[in-house]
Structure 1
Amino acid sequence: MSKPVVAIVGRPNVGKSTLFNRLAGARKAIVEDIAGVTRDRLYDKSDWAGKEFIIIDTGGIRFDDGDTFASEIKLQAQIAIEEADVIIFVVDAKDGITHEDQEVGKLLRKSKKPIVLAANKIENFSKHIDYYEFYNLGLGEPIPVSAMHGMNTNDLLDAVIDHFKPEFYEEEDTDRIKIAIVGRPNVGKSSLVNSLLGEERVIVSDIPGTTRDSIDTPFEFEGKKYMLIDTAGMRKKGKINEATEKYSVIRALKSVERADVVLIMLNAIDKVTEQDQRIAGYVHEQGKANVIVVNKWDLIKKDGRTMNEFDEDIRDKLKFLAYSPILYISALTRKRIFKAIELVDFVAEQHTRRVNTSDLNKIINEAIMLNPLPGGGGKKIKIYYSTQVRTAPPSFVLFSNQPEKVHFSYLRYLENLLRQNYGFEGTPIRFYVRQRDSKE
């Protein structure tokens, strides 16, 4: 299923980030204590009335002439607006309509997207506050809210999900492996897509894509069915500057959400950049099977150590993807591009691998015997039982007498043992530690 994207926009200091944190709530992503996973969130997940969606926070839009920073934030907001399915426009009810509110309103009207107008900072609903002037923005009925205290956000969310189309929650074709190709602008996503689809060995179906997004491209390779979904290279170019990198992660959101396997593309000339880390971190956090694809390998001068040096640089800067295969290609010359499809099949199988419960417990128990859990404040920490609760990604529940004291480093130790025994190459592994009291 696809998840709709909701962007929160507005001028500075109207409470956008406060509303973002309020809507993300307890679902806010837990950032792993591993170097390279981005700490600066401008996206998260939320849900209301059983409907999940992606939420994007944006910087305050300013229209100062000659202010580079203001222009950059405006560009970020424009990208979010372009990618969003619904937009929450936040205004300050205490200030009333400002010139910047009017300018943001003009920008939003041009987008032709559904707009939910949130009149924020109404802290006391028992007092009369005239927020009706915001009708003059021509964006529909303003909804009074207090993001700080969570007041009336239920009405706001009701209005948001009213704009979600039914096809967002339709089941998609499960016979095809859905592949997303993500990365910074100019790493070669379009070239790889064109090379894959233009080669004689690939049959591009003339059937329409999913109802969710008509730019999805079904194709077959060596008798197997695949779907290339919503990549930036397949999207019709808009007026937004495609070369701007800082917010390119926004463009990857929908693709990653819907994919079974993600090809994370790097440019061999640039090696691993901060934005590559940001995009790769999102793929990892979403639990997607993935392959690291280094493009433009034909442009690199090589000796006997070149590939090893590149491998070391990638493993150092993308430590959280230590489990991911690395493939070096040239989308332009088509060298090794079909090895990418082979790896897609391989990591898709690893992603859905299941471990027998008795075998799992045998491995966990042996691991504990070899490396006992540390003491927990005088009381011994125990893990009584383990079970795999899902695949895609492989997820395991450990039952312990002190779950809060099972350190993430110990879980990493268990993860390494599972990988040694079962592979799980190209897929994240998830552990959840739950409470179970001792019967002793």
Structure 2
Amino acid sequence: MSFTVAIVGRPNVGKSTLFNRIIGKRISIVDDKPGVTRDRIYGQVEWRGKKFTLVDTGGIDPEGSDVMTSHIRRQVEFAIDSSDLILFLLDSKEGLLPTDKEVAALLRKSGKPIIPVINKVDDYAAKPELYEFYQLGLGEPVFISAIHGSNVGDLLDQIVGFIDEDEGPDYDEGVIKVAVVGKPNVGKSSLVNAILGEERVIVSDIPGTTRDAIDTPFEYEGQKMVLIDTAGMRRKSRVKEDIEFYSNIRALGAVERADIVLVVLDATQEISEQDKKIAGIAHEAGKAVIIVVNKWDLVEKDDKTIYRYTENIRKEFAFIQYAPIVFVSAKTKKRVNKVLELIRFVMDQYTFRIEKGVLNELVEDATAMLAPPTIKGRRLKIYSVAQIGVKPPTFVLTVNDTELLHFSYVRYLENKLRERFGLEGTPVVIKGRNKK
């Protein structure tokens, strides 16, 4: 599992500002890509070679009784429960308030390691008012300015100091790592059991039976694989949003470790925003994706049912048009072998390499068919193209000016690559590099 760090504190102490500062971009605002999470409050961070998941939370008001306050408190409790380390953020301008002490008492009950972080510190000279934060008894505070970035590097150093170098099983290069993700109760564990052919994972109709990701190595026709059955949550509440919030955080760590992600849908349910958010996590992480529609045995069918379902999935998951779709029944095991076949096929696509000469020929043909765009009187010139990596296939275009490389032309070139080489199931990354 990925090491998880939660930012917790009362309202308006700068939690989202610190989150955005650490992530390196204003990730919690809005992304207008269809299906990509718009209210995301978690993201992956790498610092000094170590990775962790950072979680932003709503402000805690221990005495609040309105619906929104209680909802935020539940989300914070879920974040605390799923985290390995807590950043307790406080406001140096307002000083230590009674609410802060109540939040501190709540955090102590978690038994998790806590770093008290004092935000909005402009003058780091010893000030008497800063010493009051030692009253919390949570150890040495870290004084920062999230908005200016001051001392955030020192904070990150402390965070990664808590991370164990051994973050999970270390598999051989040839092993295909497959994460099974989806909303609670779509049949993830049942699918894992069907693939393995035995009851290796406890199955229940209560959402959130699986607490942590479970790795199960196995072999299929000589190919070594490992299935990562992602957690839902321990059922603490009937509030749907809290369950989804928690399962998203768990899915992040599993996706990060995987090569291929099986996004499991329930054929008896409408596609939800949560389904798309989970798929968006895999897409943004650059992982290969297979959409698995489970419980197909429970759907009343005619000769056009599968086409209607496929069309709807393509519409709802427009941002992963490259993902193959397979309809299965984990209960009857029908078409489960098709999933295994797709995993091997998609892994070949995910690691596909193309010779430089063939690539340059393809780009020359593509530019002859559709000339590169002209922006403010300047036309994009593409001098060469080369593949610089796999998992996913990644290409770099050497151009006269990367500012002229419009995303629409990148998409056009990606489509040409897919027409020629397939690349089914995998994202394709195309970057620009100035000739100079």
TM-score computed with the length of structure 1 as normaliser: 0.89
SS at match of 1:13: coil
1:135 aligns with 2:134: yes
Cα displacement (A) at 1:276: 0.9
* Letter of the structure 1 residue corresponding to residue 13 of structure 2: V
1:160 is matched with which residue? 159
Deviates further, 27-36 or 216-225? 27-36
Q: Is the 8 A contact 1:28 1:45 kept in 2?
A: no
Q: What amino acid is the match of 1:325?
A: P
Q: Which amino acid aligns with 1:72?
A: H
Displacement after TM superposition at 1:434 (Å):
1.1
Other-structure match for 1:210: none
Structure 2 unaligned blocks of 5 or more: 201-211
Aligned position for 1:392: 391
Write the letter of the residue equivalent to 1:366. D
1:227 equivalenced with 2:208 (yes/no): no
Could you tell me how far apart the structure 2 residues matched to 1:371 and 1:415 are? Answer: 13
Paired amino acid for 2:279? A
Superposed CA offset, 1:296-342 (max 9, x none): 11121111221111111111111011000011112222222222121
Correspondence for 1:402: 401
What amino acid sits opposite 1:280 in the alignment? A
- AA aligned opposite 1:420: E
Deviation at 1:393, TM superposition (A): 0.5
User: 1:227-247 CA deviation, whole Å, 9 max, x = no partner?
Assistant: 1225116x7x36466954441
Structure 1, unmatched stretches of 5+, are 203-212
C-alpha contact (below 8 Å) 2:385/2:396 kept by paired residues: yes
C-alpha distance after superposition, 1:10-41 (max 9, x if no partner)? 12111000001111125969987642222333
Equivalent positions of 1:200-279 (< 5 A) are 215-232=214-231, 237=234, 239=236, 243=240, 244-247=242-245, 248-279=247-278
How far apart are the structure 2 equivalents of 1:301 and 1:70? Answer: 43
Q: Which residue of 2 aligns with 1:309?
A: 308
Partner of 1:94: 93
SS at the partner of 2:5?
strand
Task: Indicate the residue corresponding to 2:348 in structure 1.
Answer: 349
Distance 1:97 1:83 in 2: 27
Partner of 1:69: 68
Q: Contact between 2:2 and 2:254, CA under 8 Å: does it hold in 1?
A: no
Deviations 1:62-118 (A, max 9, x none): 334542222222222223223323221111123233343233323322333222110
What is the RMSD computed on CA atoms of the aligned residues?
A: 2.6
Whole-angstrom CA distance in 2 between matches of 1:171 and 1:31: 36
Distance 2:67 2:172 in 1: 45
Deviations 1:212-240 (A, max 9, x none): x893222223332221225116x7x3646
Q: 1:127 to 1:141 in 2, by over 3 A?
A: closer
Contact 1:354–1:391 (8 Å) recurs in 2? yes
Is 1:183 matched with 2:216?
A: no
Percent identity of paired positions between Structure 1 and Structure 2: 49
Name the aligned partner's letter for residue 433 of structure 1. Answer: G
- Taking a change above 3 Å as real, the CA distance of residues 163 and 27 of structure 1, as seen in their structure-2 partners, is farther
Q: CA deviation at 1:134?
A: 2.6
Amino acid at match of 1:382: K
Give, in whole Å, the separation in 1 of the partners of 2:25 and 2:420. 34
* TM-score, scaled to structure 2: 0.90
1:166-193 deviations in Å (ceiling 9; x for gaps): 1138854334211111111111112212
Taking the aligned partners of 1:100 and 1:380, their CA distance within structure 2 comes to 59
* Residue 255 (structure 1) shift: 0.6
Q: What does residue 414 of structure 2 align with?
A: 415
SS in 2 for 1:358: helix
Aligned counterparts, 1:301-340, within 5 A: 301-340=300-339
More deviation, 104-113/425-434: 104-113
Q: Within 1, Cα distance between the matches of 2:192 and 2:76?
A: 28
Indicate conservation of the 8 Å contact 2:190/2:330, yes or no.
yes
